[in-house]
Amino acid sequence: MRARMHDLFGGHRLSPSQRRIAQYLLDHPREAVFLSSVDIAEKVGVSQPSVTRFATALGFDGFPEFRSALRSALLARPADQPAAGVRNEIQLLIDAEIRNLETLRDTLADLGPLHKVSAALAASRPLPVIGLRVSAPLAQLFGYFAAKVLPDVRVLDVPGSTLEDGLTRAAETGAEWVLVFALPRHPAETKKAMLWARRVGLKIALVTDQRLSPLAEHADVVLAAPVCSDFAFDSHAGATVLCTALLHTVLGATPTDQQASLDLFETTAEERQIFLSR
């Protein structure tokens, strides 16, 4: 049933608010098909127009048409899956990455630790985020989305005294935690930054490739996602998924009024025509 609903939502670029709506529908499929757009808005914590925009983003004229398609999707019989043929080199590499994702999935069976660190990060004012060298894009990704909900997110991706100054100012203005992304190869600069963070009194949440990472001993909390080294360059699919999962749980740990800022952004973004329509 979830797979058929994923097919309905797939291939569409959804805003964070719309993804929350989609997640609610995935979690409550049999209930959702009988709810109105107002009911769903109340359940998710968004406005009724956001639910309508979600339906139109999927290509429907309005919510009633979407709900009819949703009901049909739930009643549809699954199509037969084509038999897998001989895989080429890249497909085999992707298979290795899929196994890494399965490993990550299994390690997240208990969401207690993830929720705990997410609540701590969401409460930190400000929240510095470190990512150096190959880890810089993940820090930027987290920072971009987290800043839509958290009031003060500071991405630090330049090593040296500038980074140390940023950590010092964050600690002086009330920060309690710093989030560090550190994927192989682990830069010595990241270790230096973590030691400085500890010196100025910050607790450290580390996202890395394994719990035995050479940087793990310097962190208060370690979140690990396997990195695929079978390609010519490392593939960070698992780390990216973990980053997205962390964003998801950080959002869930923020007060409702802060979550509402996402809905406000989507409304103003539509008015300002920030994004191209499909």
> What CATH number does the domain containing 23 carry?
1.10.10.10
Domain match, 74 and 202 both: no
Candidates 118, 90, 150, 94; CA nearest to 242 is 118
Phi, psi of 187 (to 5 degrees): -70, 140
Name the DSSP letter for residue 178.
E
Domain match, 249 and 113 both: yes
Candidates 135, 138, 173, 133; CA nearest to 152 is 173
Domain match, 56 and 149 both: no
Under the banding of pLDDT at 50, 70 and 90, the label for residue 11 is low
Domain match, 70 and 99 both: no
Q: Is residue 142 part of a domain?
A: yes
E strands, the chain, are: 127-131, 153-156, 177-182, 203-208, 221-224
Q: Is it the case that residue 80 has pLDDT exceeding 90?
A: no
Listed range (84-88, 126-130, 193-197, 234-238) with the worst mean pLDDT? 84-88
Domain match, 142 and 202 both: yes
Q: Is it the case that residue 85 has pLDDT exceeding 70?
A: no
Domain match, 206 and 231 both: yes
Phi, psi of 223 (to 5 degrees): -115, 120
Q: Is residue 117 part of a domain?
A: yes
Structural domain range at position 63: 2-78
What is the side-by-side order of every strand in the sheet holding 203-208? 153-156, 127-131, 177-182, 203-208, 221-224
Q: Is it the case that residue 82 has pLDDT exceeding 50?
A: no
Domain end among 78, 105, 130 = 78
Length of the chain: 278
Residue range 21-53, pLDDT digits in tens = 988 888 888 787 778 899 899 989 889 999 999
Domain match, 119 and 251 both: yes
Q: Name residue 128's beta-bridge partners.
A: 154
The average confidence (pLDDT) of the chain is: 88
Whole-angstrom Cα distance, residue 77 to residue 47?
33
Domain end among 78, 104, 137 = 78
Decide: 146 and 250 in contact? Cβ < 8 Å: yes
Decide: 54 and 22 in contact? Cβ < 8 Å: yes
Domain end among 55, 78, 101 = 78
| % of residues, the chain, pLDDT over 90 | 55
**Alpha-carbon separation of residue 210 from 12, 206, 214, 239 (angstroms):** 33, 10, 9, 10
* Amino acid, res. 113: P
Residue whose token pair is 């830069």: 187
Q: Is residue 111 part of a domain?
A: yes
Q: Is residue 275 part of a domain?
A: no
Domain match, 169 and 148 both: yes
Phi, psi of 222 (to 5 degrees): -120, 125
**Could you tell me the CATH number of the domain that includes residue 156?**
3.40.50.10490
Q: Is residue 268 part of a domain?
A: no
Residue range 103-134, pLDDT digits in tens = 999 999 999 999 999 999 999 999 999 999 99
Residue range 126-155, pLDDT digits in tens = 999 999 999 999 999 999 999 999 999 999
Whole-angstrom Cα distance, residue 61 to residue 172?
52
Whole-angstrom Cα distance, residue 30 to residue 75?
10
Beta strand pairing call for 153-156 and 203-208: unpaired
Domain match, 204 and 95 both: yes
- Structurally, the chain folds into a number of domains equal to 2
Q: Is residue 278 part of a domain?
A: no
Q: Is it the case that residue 172 has pLDDT exceeding 80?
A: yes
In this predicted structure, what is the pLDDT of residue 81? Answer: 47
Domain match, 27 and 155 both: no
Decide: 35 and 27 in contact? Cβ < 8 Å: no
Domain match, 237 and 138 both: yes
Domain match, 56 and 184 both: no
